[in-house]
Amino acid sequence: MHQVVIVGGGAGGLELATRLGDRLGRKQRAAIVLVDRNRTHVWKPLLHEVAAGSMDMHLHQLDYLAQARWHHFAFYYGAIEGLDRTQRTISVSPINDEYGAEVIPRRTLPYDTLVLSIGSIANAFSVPGVAEYAFALDSAEEADRFHQRLINAVLRANYNPEAARRGLRVVIVGGGATGVELAAELHNTTRVLAAYGLKNLDPERSVALTLLNADPRILPMLPERIARATTAVLESLGVGVYCDEQVVEVSASEVRTKKGRVFPADLTVWAAGIKAPEVLRGLGSLETNRLNQLVVTPTLQTTLDPDIFAFGDCAACPWHGHRGTVPPRAQAAHQQAAHLARTIERRLSGESPEPWQYRDFGSLVSLGDYSTIGSLMGFISGPSFRVEGWFARLMYVSLYKLHLLALHGWWRVVVDSLAHTLRRGVDPRVKLH
Ligand SMILES: Cc1cc2nc3c(=O)[nH]c(=O)nc-3n(C[C@H](O)[C@H](O)[C@H](O)COP(=O)(O)OP(=O)(O)OC[C@H]3O[C@@H](n4cnc5c(N)ncnc54)[C@H](O)[C@@H]3O)c2cc1C
């Protein structure tokens, strides 16, 4: 049987594995295999909520083994380490437990069609101290680790007189959607945390949130008027927004910028840009760009091997009618997954792949409980228009619902949404542990 191996079960890869499992795996027209370095999937755009504690990742994670069983594909737990294009095999890392004992040995997997969708990681731009002292929202584990540190820092600021005098200082580097959304979410959750019996913590005086951005304005992917409105909301919340401030060093207790400013920081989050994981550089001698992304043609095939596809954040795909490549967004990965599912079906029937074109539906930024704001593209490529408030919130939430729909179908999405709504009534508003 034709073997399709998909590496990376994120926003794009898990949708693709599910679609192909349902269409091809179920009828045994092809063997579908998903490889991921984690055992569970959490949709990446939720990670700022996991970090702030407004979302409990354990309630929103999906077990790959269960999804594989329900949707007729096989799941391999491990990270891709190597690619042999002559033998058409990939090697998957061994898995060790927390004591270093081997649980699963290194494996070699054959493929007929290989799809790489291993996403992206924070780009530190060689700034000293980022790897050691800053958090990045690259994975659910890291977002959860940040949350643990946040809770400890809030408790310290409440119980330790010296820490209480200093207050809690969080610096977020990067004024894109991730940094902005995290700033608003943290503002909200620190206030909720303080309300849960932390009497010495006055969030207005004791919590300082700072957003540093190297560009002249935040949210470069959105029109200027939306960036201005968002800045106004953040400043009204007391978030310090500093633009034209390029960070040159991060240490355990402060962040320094090129202009010589020093921002004290108990916690630093790095959200200043992305690059593809290092493993892609040199993998199977495929073509990569300076961000380690695999260069693909409009059919999503890698330039040097038509049997290897790449999509999502780890791929540099030409953007029809634009100068750059398709932006690293969940909505792009979602569209590409649907297109690739059709492409792979066509391949099995001996038909050639068709080019894919990105349809940009606009960008929305969630400011937590305070607002949702953004711009949507006009119908049939008309001009973009600004949206705000409940309609924007609805559109924002619908991107996640589309992801869930692709994974589970209507019935389960309705039941899940109902269950989460009911739980909200009985759970604390912020995860406290
Ligand atoms: C806080 C935040 C908010 C965001 N908000 C939005 C938004 O509102 N709208 C939007 O469109 N986009 C948003 N994004 C961007 C969006 O999350 C990404 O563009 C999207 O997740 C890319 O999908 P992907 O499938 O390429 O990668 P991912 O979803 O990152 O999935 C990659 C998968 O590959 C796995 N993997 C990684 N390395 C390996 C390896 N070596 N071997 C095996 N598996 C591996 C990972 O475990 C993961 O499961 C946001 C991102 C963040 C961080």
**From ligand 1's centre to the CA of 41, what distance in Å?**
10
Give the model's pLDDT for residue 429: 65
Pairing state of beta strands 267-270 and 134-135?
parallel
What confidence category does residue 121 fall into, taking pLDDT thresholds of 50, 70 and 90? very high
pLDDT, greater one: 161 or 6: 6
User: Is the shortest distance between the CB of 31 and ligand 1 below 6 Å?
Assistant: no
Residue from 37, 39, 44 whose mutation best tests the ligand 1 pocket (most atoms within 8 A of CB): 44
- 380's torsion region: left (phi>0), alpha (psi -120 to 50) or beta? left
Over residues 97-120, the pLDDT tens digits come to: 999 999 999 999 999 999 999 999
Beta bridge partners of 116: 7, 310
Give the model's pLDDT for residue 380: 47
Residue 381 reports pLDDT greater than 80: no
**From ligand 1's centre to the CA of 119, what distance in Å?**
5
Over residues 54-69, the pLDDT tens digits come to: 888 888 899 999 999 9
User: Is the shortest distance between the CB of 137 and ligand 1 below 6 Å?
Assistant: yes
- Separation between Cα atoms, residue 206 and residue 376, nearest integer Å: 37
| Average pLDDT rounded to a whole number, residues 347-373 | 89
Q: What are the phi and psi torsion angles at 188 (to 5°)?
A: -65, -50
- Separation between Cα atoms, residue 298 and residue 367, nearest integer Å: 34
The answer to whether residues 352 and 171 touch, using CB atoms and an 8 Å cutoff, is no
At CB < 8 A and 24+ separation, what contacts does 90-93 make? 90/5, 90/7, 90/35, 90/114, 92/35, 93/37
Q: What is the pTM of this model?
A: 0.94
The encoded tokens of residue 117 equal 């969708």
User: Is the shortest distance between the CB of 276 and ligand 1 below 6 Å?
Assistant: no
| Average pLDDT rounded to a whole number, residues 282-300 | 97
User: Quick one: which atom of ligand 1 is closest to the CA of 337?
Assistant: 25
| Average pLDDT rounded to a whole number, residues 331-342 | 97
pLDDT, greater one: 284 or 388: 284
Burial class (CB in 10 A: 0-12, 13-18, 19+), 86: exposed
Give the model's pLDDT for residue 383: 66
Counting residues of the chain whose pLDDT is more than 70, the rounded percentage is 97
Residue 382 reports pLDDT greater than 90: no
Cα–Cα distances (Å) from 195 to 346, 388, 421, 431, in that order, read 57, 28, 22, 13
User: Is the shortest distance between the CB of 9 and ligand 1 below 6 Å?
Assistant: yes
List all residues 6 or more positions away from 381 whose beta carbon is below 8 Å from its beta carbon: none
Burial class (CB in 10 A: 0-12, 13-18, 19+), 201: buried
**From ligand 1's centre to the CA of 313, what distance in Å?**
7
What confidence category does residue 411 fall into, taking pLDDT thresholds of 50, 70 and 90? very high
Which amino acid, one-letter code, is at 37? R
| Average pLDDT rounded to a whole number, residues 206-215 | 94
